[in-house]
Chain A
Amino acid sequence: MILDSKIPAGPLAEKWTKHKFSSKLVNPANKRKYDVIVVGTGLAGASAAASLAELGYNVKAFCFQDSPRRAHSIAAQGGINAAKNYQNDGDSIYRLFYDTIKGGDYRAREGNVYRLAEVSVKIIDQCVAQGVPFAREYGGLLANRSFGGAQVSRTFYARGQTGQQLLLGAYSALSRQVANGKVKLFPRTEMMDVVVIDGQAKGIVTRNLITGAVETHAAHAVLLCTGGYGNVFFLSTNAMGSNVTAAWRAHKRGAFFANPCFTQIHPTCIPVSGDHQSKLTLMSESLRNDGRVWVPATVEIAEKLRKGQIKANDIKEEDRDYFLERKYPSFGNLVPRDVASRNAKYVCDEGRGVNETGEAVFLDFRDAIKRDTRKIIEQKYGNLFDMYKQITGEDPYENPMMIYPAVHYTMGGLWVDYNLMTTVPGLYALGEANFSEHGANRLGASALMQGLADGYFVIPYTVGDYLAQLAPTKVDENHPEFARAKEEVKQGIERLLKINGSKPVDYFHKRLGKIMWDKCGMARTEIGLKEAKAEIQALKKEFWSNVKVMGTNEELNQTLEKANRVADFLELGELMVDDALNRNESCGGHFREEYQTPDGEALRDDENFAYVAAWKYLGEGQDEELVKEELVFENVKLTQRSYK
């Protein structure tokens, strides 16, 4: 099978304009005859649902939370990139495109990334018009800050809560359409399967989380805006409920899964404190604008620190190693996330870690406070400092923060073409759920940009092109496929409830997380990955024979919800390992120890691996089939990424 990315021909800057013009349109009066299902109400889902409803389509929006406003986009802190060049510092659409392609270590499609940069400027306009209170300068115009992997200030922000404000903006637009009767909302409802009829997506199966009722919903198109799969690692910065179930079940129905091993480890998270830990908390990348990352210059000093004989502030300037500034003088503390994470790991592996576990580095604001005063730092990062103090009990104004990398984002996801359509016609994936824009590493403040670009400005055009080719007649929910898919979901639930083993769901999830983190995390080796595959297979077997799920289906049952999700993570984990094993190179967040430059940077192999690895599901217990989409670079030259 050949994967057609459907990237339009012609000059980069004209592709999207041409594509929009050649897309078919649905007559305004006919739009009300088409139904669209949107699963997930984060930035991608809420913006898509609102925009499609505004156009006149009938939308059903689903989320597992009690309100669409709680989707995990809300937790994004730092900001959103846009090529506005308001700062007159040399930014442009092309530069944002270039930074994103380079930041992704040349494993993303040129056409998609250029479109993302192109529509980025409209996102800011849209959000301001909705009443999103972005940070402003005294003259009343919008403020910007810098983020990793860029040398211009193009990040728009709302204190340390940019994701919250953007999501509440999209949620307000969605709420307006609910009031208008164009969106029907299904909170506390989880998608359990996709219904595919004659090769086309025609609906979904859901479980009402309050009553347990398994139901079907029919539509002309289904949009999965269901986020990433970072929780496969158990500990991550994702919300507790974030899961891969919708994407995974779609995968099993024919949607290819692309680059599953591309996961982002974020350098600035609060370190793990003990076995009870349920999640990790991110400290925004924006902190690296003013915070300096360092460890003691020698192992001896680090040991004293770990034993509590000295404190960070006792360590003299010459005994501190500002390792990012030393190794990467031009980008300094603002190198991309994969580079910053890997270097933190290196210094900790050398024995220079600064907390009890030896797995932490300092992020120090002493010099910034001296330079700018505490008040300025408080204004910029007050809520983040408060959060740090709340969690650790330490005051970061007095002592440097301690941070360590943690799983944060997944660049991989469902394979989509330029129209954001998966390999199942009528089934789309938007935002983090797809694989398309970030290559092997995402730059900071680009996730919000992608989610909103997909939902506000891409899908309204591309879904119309598909719907225009369908007859405007209702999808028949009495088709036997609906009943069959529903029955399969019910059987899956019964199977879980019947096991009645002896171990809680988290027991398995934690063990899976540890395998993934140790062997498919920040650094991977062939031997380790092979071990991981066998271990996951054994764990999966154990799960299906010994998990204990309390209660029944016909009630609110949080254990059952979790068991369903962990069952899918176990399958996904194996595919991630297969993908990491297949990719015999290092690129971005995928670091295979066998493939590195003499100074420890990722060593790509463009000749053999400049492709998207899309995986096709072949059946229970079978290895998946690899289908390659070659990446074509017409505009940028592939070079070794350098941030020195």
Chain B
Amino acid sequence: MKLTLKIWRQKNAADKGGFATYTADQVSKDMSFLEMLDVLNDQLTEKGEDPVHFDHDCREGICGMCSLYINGKPHGPQQTTTCQLHMRSFSDGETITIEPWRAKAFPVVKDLVVNRSAFDRIIQAGGYVSVNTGGVPDANEIPIPKTIADLAMDAAQCIGCGACVAACKNASAMLFTSAKVSQLALLPQGQVERKARAEKMVAQMDAEGFGACTNTGACEAECPKGISITNIARMNREYFSAVVSSENI
């Protein structure tokens, strides 16, 4: 396969950035998308040009480090992470446009690399159960209905990649935040801090500059892990019931 690549190049956060065009020939259908970029980078290096920087690590679709906005979609045409996207999803002669995640709360670091520390700060605001190591009850002391445990697991599968933010026209982080709020609101272990958690995490999300949710559903459609927007509905319920009975204000 022979492809034309239009890739966003930006030297650093202060640089304005712009597209550069490259040709990738000898692309095999069995290559992953990132392997295609590896080959390009080796060619650029041999020519003495700066390789394209992009985030990636596990290449198994679970660490959430890879990103890339490919042909107008986060993680490209398939509902999967970029590292799991293979070149068989593209056809010979195609032009592929590759951009970084675009969101005010995810500033570009270099080329296709963005800073997603805002997600860490949302979790730090309350995405945990406050238990210290040791002194906890036996694991089987509190039975949890399988259906509830399964729902919690559905939400807990979020990999924190940020595709939901990149997909959303408002750059909202509601899907990410609601996945953690839901997981812990569903489980008995999360009950004690339930109200405070919803309030604090929502407040942090707003403080980071993420937009509001207008229910377009783009986040769910693009989420590589299929996190459902019912989590957003659950977070809204959690948040409103927390606010009306809040002890914090």
Give the chain A neighbours of B152 by CB distance below 8 A: 131, 133
Asked if A390 and B183 make an inter-chain contact with CB atoms under 8 angstroms apart, the answer reads: no
Asked if A276 and B57 make an inter-chain contact with CB atoms under 8 angstroms apart, the answer reads: no
Could you name 17 residue pairs across A and B whose Cβ atoms are closer than 8 Å?
A65-B65, A69-B160, A71-B63, A74-B58, A126-B131, A133-B149, A138-B146, A142-B140, A164-B159, A172-B123, A175-B123, A176-B124, A240-B56, A273-B30, A281-B60, A391-B32, A550-B51
Asked if A141 and B38 make an inter-chain contact with CB atoms under 8 angstroms apart, the answer reads: no
Cβ of B247 within 8 Å of any chain A Cβ, yes or no, is no
Q: Roughly how many angstroms separate A292 CA and B58 CA in the complex, as a whole number? A: 28
Cβ of A75 within 8 Å of any chain B Cβ, yes or no, is yes
Give the chain A neighbours of B115 by CB distance below 8 A: 66
- 1/0 contact trace for A379-404 toward B, CB 8 Å? 00000000100110100000000000
Asked if B32 and A278 make an inter-chain contact with CB atoms under 8 angstroms apart, the answer reads: yes
Name the interface size band of chain B.
35 or more
- 1/0 contact trace for B160-178 toward A, CB 8 Å? 1000000000000000000
Known: A74-B58, A74-B63. 11 other contacts (CB 8 A): A133-B153, A133-B183, A163-B62, A172-B123, A172-B128, A187-B117, A210-B109, A282-B60, A456-B134, A548-B46, A559-B45
Q: Roughly how many angstroms separate A457 CA and B135 CA in the complex, as a whole number? A: 12
Q: Roughly how many angstroms separate A475 CA and B60 CA in the complex, as a whole number? A: 41
Give the chain A neighbours of B53 by CB distance below 8 A: 556, 558
Q: Evaluate whether A158 and B46 lie within 8 angstroms (CB atoms) in the complex, with A133-B183, A140-B143 already known.
A: no
Give the chain A neighbours of B88 by CB distance below 8 A: 393
Cβ of B156 within 8 Å of any chain A Cβ, yes or no, is yes
Asked if A279 and B189 make an inter-chain contact with CB atoms under 8 angstroms apart, the answer reads: no
Asked if A70 and B65 make an inter-chain contact with CB atoms under 8 angstroms apart, the answer reads: yes
Asked if A276 and B38 make an inter-chain contact with CB atoms under 8 angstroms apart, the answer reads: yes
Q: Evaluate whether A54 and B132 lie within 8 angstroms (CB atoms) in the complex, with A142-B140, A555-B110 already known.
A: yes
Cβ of A473 within 8 Å of any chain B Cβ, yes or no, is no
Q: Evaluate whether A239 and B63 lie within 8 angstroms (CB atoms) in the complex, with A550-B48, A556-B110 already known.
A: yes
Give the chain B neighbours of A282 by CB distance below 8 A: 60
Cβ of B241 within 8 Å of any chain A Cβ, yes or no, is no
Asked if B12 and A555 make an inter-chain contact with CB atoms under 8 angstroms apart, the answer reads: yes
Q: Roughly how many angstroms separate A558 CA and B34 CA in the complex, as a whole number? A: 14
In the complex, which residues 93-122 of chain B have their Cβ closer than 8 Å to any Cβ of chain A?
109-110, 113, 115-117, 119-120
Q: Roughly how many angstroms separate A70 CA and B142 CA in the complex, as a whole number? A: 30
Cβ of A28 within 8 Å of any chain B Cβ, yes or no, is no
Asked if A130 and B124 make an inter-chain contact with CB atoms under 8 angstroms apart, the answer reads: no
Cβ of A633 within 8 Å of any chain B Cβ, yes or no, is no
Give the chain B neighbours of A159 by CB distance below 8 A: 153, 157
- Selected from A128, A460, A555, the residue in CB contact (under 8 A) with B133 is A460
Q: Roughly how many angstroms separate A268 CA and B229 CA in the complex, as a whole number? A: 35
Name the interface size band of chain A.
35 or more
CB distance from B153 to the nearest CB of A (A): 4
Cβ of A619 within 8 Å of any chain B Cβ, yes or no, is no
CB distance from B75 to the nearest CB of A (A): 12
Asked if A387 and B59 make an inter-chain contact with CB atoms under 8 angstroms apart, the answer reads: no
Cβ of A502 within 8 Å of any chain B Cβ, yes or no, is yes
Asked if A69 and B64 make an inter-chain contact with CB atoms under 8 angstroms apart, the answer reads: yes
Q: Roughly how many angstroms separate A50 CA and B134 CA in the complex, as a whole number? A: 12
CB distance from B203 to the nearest CB of A (A): 13
Q: Evaluate whether A66 and B116 lie within 8 angstroms (CB atoms) in the complex, with A276-B28, A278-B35 already known.
A: yes
Give the chain B neighbours of A75 by CB distance below 8 A: 58, 60, 62-63
Asked if B109 and A390 make an inter-chain contact with CB atoms under 8 angstroms apart, the answer reads: no
Give the chain B neighbours of A108 by CB distance below 8 A: none
- 1/0 contact trace for B4-30 toward A, CB 8 Å? 000000011000000000000000101
CB distance from A67 to the nearest CB of B (A): 5
Q: Across the interface, name the chain B residue whose C-beta is closest to A171.
A: B123
Cβ of A86 within 8 Å of any chain B Cβ, yes or no, is yes
Give the chain A neighbours of B160 by CB distance below 8 A: 67, 69-70
Q: Across the interface, name the chain A residue whose C-beta is closest to B188.
A: A131
Q: Evaluate whether A51 and B124 lie within 8 angstroms (CB atoms) in the complex, with A142-B140, A504-B45 already known.
A: no
Asked if B127 and A172 make an inter-chain contact with CB atoms under 8 angstroms apart, the answer reads: yes
Give the chain B neighbours of A158 by CB distance below 8 A: 153, 156
Q: Roughly how many angstroms separate A390 CA and B32 CA in the complex, as a whole number? A: 10
Cβ of A179 within 8 Å of any chain B Cβ, yes or no, is yes
Q: Evaluate whether A136 and B146 lie within 8 angstroms (CB atoms) in the complex, with A141-B140, A276-B39, A558-B51 already known.
A: yes
Cβ of B92 within 8 Å of any chain A Cβ, yes or no, is no
Give the chain B neighbours of A393 by CB distance below 8 A: 86, 88
Asked if B133 and A456 make an inter-chain contact with CB atoms under 8 angstroms apart, the answer reads: yes
In the complex, which residues 175-195 of chain B have their Cβ closer than 8 Å to any Cβ of chain A?
183-184, 187, 189-190
Q: Across the interface, name the chain A residue whose C-beta is closest to B43.
A: A504
Q: Roughly how many angstroms separate A240 CA and B134 CA in the complex, as a whole number? A: 34
Give the chain A neighbours of B129 by CB distance below 8 A: 129-131, 172
Give the chain A neighbours of B134 by CB distance below 8 A: 122, 126, 456-457
Interface hub of B34, B136, B187 (most chain A Cβ within 10 A): B136
In the complex, which residues 547-590 of chain A have their Cβ closer than 8 Å to any Cβ of chain B?
548, 550-551, 555-556, 558-559
